[in-house]
Amino acid sequence: MPLSVRFSLPSPVAVAVAVALALACALALPASADDHWPAPVKALTAQGLTIHAEFEAPAGLTGYAASYEGGEVAIYLTADGQHAVVGTLVDAEGTDLSNAALDEHIRAAQDAAAWEEVEKGAWIRDGDSQAPRVIYTFSDPNCPFCRELWEATRPWVDAGEVQIRHVMVGILAQDSPAKAAALLGAEDPVAALDAHYAGRVEIEASAQPRDIEEQVYANNQLFESLGLIATPSTFYRDGERTQRVEGMPSEERLIDMMGGEAP
């Protein structure tokens, strides 16, 4: 999967945001949650794990979906309630039986929260404002794969079926933040974005009002707080579930993102 990757380390602000989000998730748990966890599970929470849900597991085990700063993990409690194993449960064919539970009980909620955060970002709409399908993508003006994604989505956008909201970031090159700000601050941002990705007019880095530059900075912080590492990074809805794709999607994934075959 082609992608453009940033090489900067997370800023202190981004780390603080990520920690705050983790704490928010922990605080969202029932206040009495720790009161009924078995002793081995309680011991793991004392070591920094946050329990999100209990689920049924094979072979007399009880599963717990847990997270820590930077990832998720499954916990399996033995039938006697006195021992717990942390890791991945597989069957005789080597199938991962833990991933689905972590996906359902942790990642689904995290991606739903991410969608709400991305909606608040500073973005430029590509397509009809009345198009029924909405997609968000983090886009850097210097990213060749962002331009490739723009080109690949023309059939759906031009048909009025999809609107793509480009959350402008500046992470790939020294002039990326100024170019992103120039697009957001253009007299007609929609036309400027279209001209830039179509190759008609290459956007030039230019000083913008402070509030516009702060929008790019906030988008960059949001990008990092969501744990993203590449542009484009795209969010779309699949039924009730929020999905994310980092990098240029495969043809099959692109069709899924767009909600169906090209018109």
Residues 6+ apart with CB under 8 A from 92: none
CATH superfamily for 31-116 is Disulphide bond isomerase, DsbC/G, N-terminal (3.10.450.70)
31-116 and 121-258 share one fold: no
CA atoms within 13 A on the CB side of 34: 12
CA distance 60 to 89: 13
* 73-82 residues labelled b (16+ CB within 10 A) or e (exposed): bbbbbeeeee
- DSSP secondary-structure letter at 172? S
Res 109: pLDDT? 85
State what percent of residues in the chain have pLDDT above 70: 87
Nearest to 232, CA basis, from 171, 182, 177: 171
For residue range 9-20, what is the model confidence (pLDDT) as tens digits? 334 334 333 433
For residue range 147-205, what is the model confidence (pLDDT) as tens digits? 999 999 999 999 999 999 999 999 999 999 999 999 999 999 999 999 999 999 999 99
CA distance 12 to 181: 22
Is it the case that residue 129 has pLDDT exceeding 90?
yes
Split at pLDDT 50, 70, 90, the class of 2 is low
Backbone angles phi, psi at 66, to 5 degrees: -130, 160
In the chain, where are the structural domains located? Answer: 31-116, 121-258
The model carries a pTM of: 0.73
Q: Omega before 30 cis (within 30°)? A: no
Token digits for 21? 């989000």
Given this structure, which CATH class describes domain 121-258? alpha beta
Res 23: pLDDT? 36
Q: Residue 164: which H helix or E strand, with range?
A: strand 162-168
Average pLDDT over residues 103-118: 88
CA distance 62 to 251: 39
Res 176: pLDDT? 97
Split at pLDDT 50, 70, 90, the class of 248 is very high
Residues facing residue 55 across a β-bridge: 63
Res 107: pLDDT? 85
Res 21: pLDDT? 41
For residue range 94-108, what is the model confidence (pLDDT) as tens digits? 999 999 999 888 888
